Chains A and B, each alone.
Chain A
Amino acid sequence: MSSIWIENSEMEDKRKNVAIKLQTIHSRLVCVCVCVCVCVCVCVCVCVCVCLKKGNVVLQNTRSHSSSDVGAVDAGIVGSGGQRNSKMSVLGVSSLSRCGLLALRSPAGVAVRYAQTAAAPVAQPRIKKFQVYRWDPDTPGDKPRMQTYEIDLNSCGPMVLDALIKIKNEMDPTLTFRRSCREGICGSCAMNINGGNTLACVLKIDTDISKPSKIYPLPHMYVVKDLVPDMSNFYAQYKSIEPYLKKKDESKEGKEQYLQSMEDRDKLDGLYECILCACCSTSCPSYWCIADKYLGPAVLMQAYRWMIDSRDDFTEDRLSKLQDPFSVYRCHTIMNCTSSCPKGLNPGKAIAEIKKMMATYKEKKAAAV
């Protein structure tokens, strides 16, 4: 993406901009003149052709009429020839003029083309530094380090993932990272960029070239290579909450839809959209400390999603499974999760709702019994 208008408050650039504007105006004027000339020529040619046709008809008439009178014919021919000659001379003049115009036009045309291409000047390269976390498991004794890459933002897409792909394609093919959809829906490219966890395909590169962009893998995760963390524990925790519909009576399964009111369906909004990118869980300091026992915001939000689904019959069961000091209650409402969610969801609130339900469901159960 080349931008003619570079945002720079220096005087030289302003002068350059004025010069560019003048050049474009000049080239546009030249273009207009050329077009006018072409139109004039075309009109002249058309008129000439029309007149010539008329002349031919006259010639035919004179010939047919004065077939006996040779002299007259000659005269007629001469006369018509003269006419024709005059027409031809007109044509000649017009063609000459056209040639002349063409001759005139070609250097002008070249000049126009030059002016047009010169009107799009070579943009100043905007070099942005990217400091990327690197670690290679196959190099024995390798220590995690930061490697700096320089990218010209004028020839790079707007998102951080575009920059990473450009680095991998053009500069360093060994740079390793996960990616798939490039549109913020798969969750593969979740990483820590400039201190916050987001999806690389959704975060725009900060165009301030004075500051480097720092790219780390998701925090406090075992690194497989470069920016790729080991997500198996996260997925196992998700599996442990049984994220599927459980009915007490499964005999009607598959026969027809399980119906749900619109109010009940609205309760799921803001919960089902989770793409399990792990940005929230890996932003939580509690999850950093106790990733083995604390489930983390992403998994807890999905547990809540199944608890409040009106079609699910095992709400109390799900709540009772979380009754221990660690699974839920390591959340101290630090709210890093909601802050980092790239989809704009609110896991912090979901966990607060779980805590409320956990405080009251036993009474409800006792009351029901």
Chain B
Amino acid sequence: MANRLICGTPGLISVTRTLGRQGVCLSRPQYAVLCRHVVPMGTTAKEEMNTFWAKNSRSNRPLSPHLTAYKWTMPMMMSVAHRGTGIGLSGAVSAVAVAALVLPGNYPYYLDLIHSLSFGPFLIGLAKLGIAFPLSYHAFNGIRHLIWDIGKGFRMAEVYRSGYAVIGLSIITSIALVLR
């Protein structure tokens, strides 16, 4: 951090600044009238942060409520859903990959197995929705994220509008995929 003495004589600036940076407050009586002795800040930002964590973790101070107190808004919930669907989808892909490696038999064998179990169209539709909706939601919200990455659509009205568009599109797409 730059600890500086603000003096009337410019010639002193470079000398005093270097000394100041080392945390020394130079006192020159003959320039006492002109010089303003800035009390050097003994702490750096890092030191202040460390003091904060040391003091507070040792104390019995509570943490103010966050998830329980904060209002759940639409953009917040959509962000959580994006994360949730992302984890779900990547988990499912990984599970399928591992299963393909581990389980005996190939894909057509398991397809015939599921067909033979006669689940009924409703349950099959539900299962399809369970895959289609996270996929379409994550894809459309991903596009929204990419638009944010180029710096567009950051006004709150635009955030809400794009959010509703994503939800609408993903519902339509997932239903279309299920009914196909």
Q: Which residues of A contact B (CB under 8 A)?
A: 133, 135, 137, 143-144, 192, 194-196, 214, 216-224, 229-230, 232-233, 235-237, 239-240, 242, 250-251, 253-254, 283, 285, 288, 292, 332-336, 338-339, 346, 348-349, 352-353, 355-356
Majority-rule SS of A interface residues: mixed
Query: Can you show 8 pairs from A to B with CB atoms below 8 A apart?
Result: A143-B62, A192-B69, A192-B70, A216-B65, A222-B63, A233-B49, A236-B49, A332-B83
B70–A222 CB distance below 8 A? no
The contact string, 1 if C-beta is below 8 Å from chain A, for chain B 53-67, is 100100111111110
Known: A196-B71, A339-B156, A346-B154. A220 touches B49 (CB 8 A): no
Q: Determine the residue in chain A with the shortest Cβ distance to B61.
A: A222
| Number of residues on chain B facing chain A (CB within 8 A) | 38
Q: How far is the CB of A4 from chain B (nearest CB, A)?
A: 35
A338–B64 CB distance below 8 A? no
B61–A333 CB distance below 8 A? no
Instruction: State A335–B158 Cα separation when bound (angstroms).
Output: 11
User: Which of chain A's residues have a CB closer than 8 A to the CB of B151?
Assistant: 349, 352-353, 356
- Identify A338's interface contact among B66, B145, B154, CB under 8 A: B154
Q: How far is the CB of A205 from chain B (nearest CB, A)?
A: 17
Q: Which 9 A-B pairs have the closest CB atoms?
A: A195-B71, A240-B45, A236-B48, A349-B154, A219-B66, A239-B45, A220-B66, A217-B64, A222-B56
Q: How far is the CB of B101 from chain A (nearest CB, A)?
A: 31
B155 at the interface (CB under 8 A from A): yes
User: Which of chain B's residues have a CB closer than 8 A to the CB of A214?
Assistant: 69
Known: A137-B61, A220-B64. A352 touches B79 (CB 8 A): no
A335–B70 CB distance below 8 A? no
B148–A333 CB distance below 8 A? yes
B46 at the interface (CB under 8 A from A): yes
Q: Which of B133-157 contact A (CB under 8 A)?
A: 145, 148-151, 154-156
Q: Determine the residue in chain B with the shortest Cβ distance to A288.
A: B66
B154–A237 CB distance below 8 A? no
User: Which of chain A's residues have a CB closer than 8 A to the CB of B156?
Assistant: 335, 338-339
A223–B63 CB distance below 8 A? yes
B71–A221 CB distance below 8 A? no
User: Which of chain B's residues have a CB closer than 8 A to the CB of A233?
Assistant: 48-49, 52-53
Instruction: State A348–B156 Cα separation when bound (angstroms).
Output: 10
Q: How far is the CB of B27 from chain A (nearest CB, A)?
A: 21
A336–B65 CB distance below 8 A? no
Q: Determine the residue in chain A with the shortest Cβ distance to B69.
A: A216
Q: Determine the residue in chain B with the shortest Cβ distance to A194.
A: B71
B75 at the interface (CB under 8 A from A): yes
B76 at the interface (CB under 8 A from A): yes
- Identify B52's interface contact among A220, A230, A333, A338, CB under 8 A: A230
B154–A235 CB distance below 8 A? no
B51 at the interface (CB under 8 A from A): yes
Known pairs A194-B71, A236-B45 / 20 extra A-B pairs, C-beta < 8 Å: A143-B62, A192-B69, A195-B71, A196-B70, A219-B66, A219-B69, A223-B64, A230-B52, A230-B61, A232-B48, A233-B52, A236-B52, A239-B1, A334-B75, A334-B79, A335-B75, A336-B73, A339-B156, A349-B154, A356-B151
